[in-house]
Structure 1
Amino acid sequence: MGRVYRVMIIDDEESARKLMRAAFKWDELGMEVVGEAASGIEAINVIDDIRPDIAFVDISMPFMDGIEFTETATERYPNLIIIIMTAIDKFEYARKCVSLPVFDYMLKPMVRDEVIKVLQRAKNKLDSRKDIVENTVLDKESEVLSETASTELIKKYVKENFMDSKLNLAFIAQNFGFSPSYLSRKFKQDTGKNFVEYLTDLRMKKALKYAETGYKMYQTAGEVGIPDPNYFSRCFKKYTGMSYSDYVTEKGM
C-alpha cells in the first residue's frame, strides 16, 4: 500500500474548511486531512506537529495572509506543496507572487473535478520524489544510511543539482531522511570536508567558467545557485582571493 499523504486546510472561513473536508473521498486519493487552521499564524504555530505534505491556503486571511504564510512555511519546509485558493478579485494579487514556490492557484468557488486533477498532480509529484529518495538513498529496513556508499550518493545528487538555489544542508537532510546535524557530521567524517564547503566548491568551480566567458556577476550568481549577489561576491573572493570584476579583468574579458 502506498503512502497516505497528509493534507492541511488553511482558511479563515469555517464553512469553507468543512466543505473541503466533505467534498472529496480523500482515502481514494491516497490522502487524509490531518489538520486545519483559521489563519496563517495559527497554521505556522501547529505545522510542526501536523507536518503536512500538501496545504490548501486561502490568500486572504487576517493577521497573516496566504502569501506571508507561504514565505514562512517554505523556508521551514521547502518540499511542502502549497495550493493557493483565491477569489477572482484577488487573483491578480496572487499572480504577482509567482516567484513563490506555489504548486498551483485555484479560483474560489473551486470546481470539484479541477481540485481532483490538481491533487492527482500533487500526488504524482510526491510519489516521484518519494521514489527518487528511496531509489537513491534510504534503506527502509534500517532507516540508516550505510558508510561511505551513501555519502557518495549524496555527493552525486549534489553534483547534479548544485545550480538549484534551494539546495542546502537542510534540504538534502530532509530529502534523505536525516537531521541536518547528523548529516553534517557524517559528511565531514566520510569526506574530510563539510557540506557547505563541498557545495560552495562545486558552485565556485562553475562560476569560474562563467566568469571566463564574460558573464556578469549577477548572471553567474543565478546560474550557480547563489542568487544573492552580495553573498556570491563574498564566496567568490574567498575562493579565488580576488573580486569577481578583478578576475574577469585578469582573464581579459
Structure 2
Amino acid sequence: MYKLLIADDERKIREGLALLFPWSQFDIEVVGQCSNGQEVIEFLEDNEVDIVLLDIVMPKMTGIEVSKYIYENQLGIKVVLLSAFREFEYAQESLRYQVKDYVVKPTKYEELVRVFTRLKRELDEQTRAALDMNVPEESGIVERIKRYIEEHYATACLDSIADELNLNVFYISRAFKRKTGMNIFPYLTQVRMSKACEYLQLPDIKIYEVCSLVGYTEPRSFSRAFKKQFGITPTEFRASFGLG
C-alpha cells in the first residue's frame, strides 16, 4: 500500500482525515500525523512516505516551506496542500515545487476522491514501470547507490542517482529500503554528516562553508541534521577539538 503522512496543526482536522476517509480503497495507509512543518521534516528523514497531505499554515514551517524542502531534496514524494482559503499567492508559489494538488478546507469527500484517485493512478503507473524494467540484482544496485553517494554526496539526490543507474526513482527507493532497512535520504544524510565531521576538524574552513560542502543550502537545516546525528551542534563539535 502507498504510505500517506497527514500534517495539520488542528488535531481534530488531521485525525478526522486519518480516520474518516476510506484510504484503503485507494491502496493508501496513513503512516503518521504531524502538527507542524518541522515534525514533517523529521518524520520524512526516518520514514518511507509516498504522499504528504499538508496544511499550508502551520507553526515552525509552513506547508509551502515543507514542499520546497521535498522538492529541493528530490525526495520523490507527492504533495497535496490543504488550506482554509484559496490563497492565490500560495497556489502560485506551490507550482514551483511541483505540488500535485490543492484542496480547500473544509474538505469535501468528492474532492478527496478526485485528488487521490489521480494520485493512485500516477503511483500505479510508476510501480508498473519499475516492475517492467529489466534490472540487475538488487544487492548490486544498492552497492552502486552507496558508491555514487560516497562520490557525489554534496549534489546527490534521487533523480541524479536514478539517472546514473538508468533506473526508475520509484524502483531504486524501494530496492534500497528492502536491502538496507532504511531510505536513501537518511543514508545520504549519514554520509554527509560523516564528511562534515572531517571538514569541521580543519581550522581554515568556516562552519557555513562546511554546510555548503556537504550539500546543504541553509545552515539551520545543516545544524539540525548534525545535532540529530551526533547530539551536539557543529559549533560544539568543533569546540571539542579546541577550534573556534
TM surpasses 0.5: yes
| Contact 2:7–2:33, Cα closer than 8 Å, also in 1 | yes
Alignment pair present for 1:104 and 2:104: no
Q: Structure 1 residues 96, 70: closer, same or farther in 2, change over 3 A?
A: closer
Amino acid at match of 2:101: D
- Mapping for residues 6-21 of structure 1, pairs under 5 Å: 6-21=3-18
| Contact 1:10–1:37, Cα closer than 8 Å, also in 2 | yes
Deviations 1:124-149 (A, max 9, x none): 1001011111111457xx63569xxx
Amino acid at match of 2:10: E
**Equivalent position to 1:95, from 83, 92, 104:** 92
Alignment pair present for 1:38 and 2:35: yes
**Gaps spanning 5+ residues in structure 1: where?**
147-165, 180-253
**Gaps spanning 5+ residues in structure 2: where?**
142-157, 177-244
CA deviation after TM superposition for structure 1 residue 5, in Å: 0.5
**Equivalent position to 1:81, from 69, 78, 81:** 78
**Equivalent position to 1:28, from 15, 25, 39:** 25
CA deviation after TM superposition for structure 1 residue 89, in Å: 5.3
Q: Structure 1 residues 67, 130: closer, same or farther in 2, change over 3 A?
A: same
Query: Is the radius of gyration larger for structure 1 or structure 2?
Result: 1
Residues paired across the two proteins, number: 157
RMSD: 2.7
Taking the aligned partners of 2:90 and 2:161, their CA distance within structure 1 comes to 33
Counterpart position of 1:169: 161
The structure with higher relative contact order (CA 8 Å, sep 6+) is 2
Taking the aligned partners of 1:132 and 1:29, their CA distance within structure 2 comes to 19
Q: Structure 1 residues 133, 77: closer, same or farther in 2, change over 3 A?
A: same
Secondary structure at 1:98 match in 2: helix
Taking the aligned partners of 1:96 and 1:81, their CA distance within structure 2 comes to 16
TM-score (norm 2): 0.57
Alignment pair present for 1:120 and 2:117: yes
Amino acid at match of 1:135: D
**Identity among equivalent pairs (%):** 29
Counterpart position of 2:46: 49
Taking the aligned partners of 1:20 and 1:91, their CA distance within structure 2 comes to 24
